[in-house]
Structure 1
């Protein structure tokens, strides 16, 4: 499609000389704009993909895909109900649990928290991806009046594994001196790093039987947690589960529970993509500017080439090569820069924090402890195609103008 002659002339036009150095300077800015635009798009979209994936994975791993809740807060006949839900095709598990709020107190320090009373199987937190035990051992939960808690909550109360902490229940006990809040001391068996700031700062876990006794639920629970095979298609499981629950309670999916968060992430992702695409668009306009100036500067050369037999198509292809080369090289280097940045993002973050002395990723604001980055091959391909198409389209107006130059008009006064 492109002859050796066209490539030779196009590459010669791209090399800077003193006479047309300013044109080459604009071309360099166009190249840098496309390279940085592509790299920035890949980095930002990868971080947002990773953030959404990690956040949703941790929320799903800790909260379940479908939650069955009682209207009055107590599910009394939860055993047969959980068994029936487990028979629904695609359901992997149905686990009863108790969810309640408490006040945790230790040596004058107090903090609000939520308690999860879990079955023995669900107390095996090692099965949750990304969760680590900071201190103590989960095996200690076999004893009575033992709990585990998020490590940030433990740090705020000044406790560690083996210490005791007093939990104040939201119910009251009648005494001769009036109604008093009921407090019980529990030993901390282990502290956990869930990886989500709110959970690390608020979570307390205990065996289900202990929670039933402490909160005086008897043989009842507050919820049933349902895990399904395909959480992204959770709506397809809802009708069958809702039918089994009947009037005993209501069913909510993880999408409904985290609707505002997931919607905000999707909107932010789309808006960031559009905004950062403008960097590539601006770089494409710079290609147009540099090519228009190049065409004006090389008008005499184009006229001579035409008189020597070069066709309009050949002249057009010469300037298309000149402009598109900037876009292609900038896109390729931008992809390499973006991929390398994403693969080493944690090390780069640590280096920048050491140089600036600031915290670039505050877990209190962003929920996750580390910066996640997940490269989506289809998304990278879309960015590459978009950059190449914009670069190619930017070369067409100047190239058409060069092809339509009349040699007679250009050389009349030479």
Structure 2
């Protein structure tokens, strides 16, 4: 009975530290008094937010970059290998972890989003079952204190929110003006753009008071690199820009996918584009990718609109009301086609014409060569050049279907408009 009362008193003291200490470090020291071992508080990028007095004496697992302390990369890799990171994200309670050393880990959650975690190192005394309960309480107290100390996102965050929301809501007619405005925030406008949208229901009317949401935005921005974000219609929206053809390359995709899985999130991604004037169409592409994948019961964390173009067209034809945002047809043209046209224009080549003729001739090399009045070897040179330039296989039925669909869109537009190539 006495032991139970002692545990209750310790828990009460930790909860009460929210009022008596009112700081992360103060609360941490109260926790260390009861746990009797070094305590580290880390965010999800393995940066050490703070550490207790005993923990400050141990630098064997820490490296410093730009004034910030992080776990050594070897330790991070070991934690991933033995599924420790997965356990932190998937468990709501503290747990023991045995490797070269014995530790306690416990996630710190805000609005069910893991924003950090507690690590307690067994070095001064051996752990007992009571330590898990105390760590659980410490996690809840840190969740509250973190929200108290981080009520608002930064000024630059607010600026970029207004910029991106303005781009999404208001029809833009002056690209020079918008480009000039974007120079005043920490965002570089490169040749390729992409919209990524993540559905997220926030619990507060003013999302700036939602620490879990703002932390989530910060983590994803760290992954994506050069981007700006906003929160609009229960959706976190990112405008990403760089010089990569895919914008989100394979290595970046893997990091993003891991983060989305760990936090049980989904995202929709638009086709790559290069004109801010079309941003509303591409934003809606990302939303349609999410909606179509859900209606088709595809349980994907990452959903590319380019994989749903034909289904979007089916959906438009079946939609009987006027509440569906209809995307400009030319924004549905695949980036591969756009890339070929731009390459031809710059290098005075005929790759686009060669591909179009090849597809129109039922993928027959001989017939294509005859129609283009070129030697077969010239055709195969162009054929391989197209594959190399686009980094795809023209033997893939899926790739060929995407290309043929884009050509159909361009053909249709030719019959109804006189500005085609310049538009793409």
Q: Which interval holds the TM-score relative to the shorter structure?
A: under 0.3
> Structure 1-normalised TM-score?
0.21
Please say which structure displays the higher CA radius of gyration: 1
Greater share of residues in strand: 1
Higher relative contact order (CA 8 A, sep 6+): 1
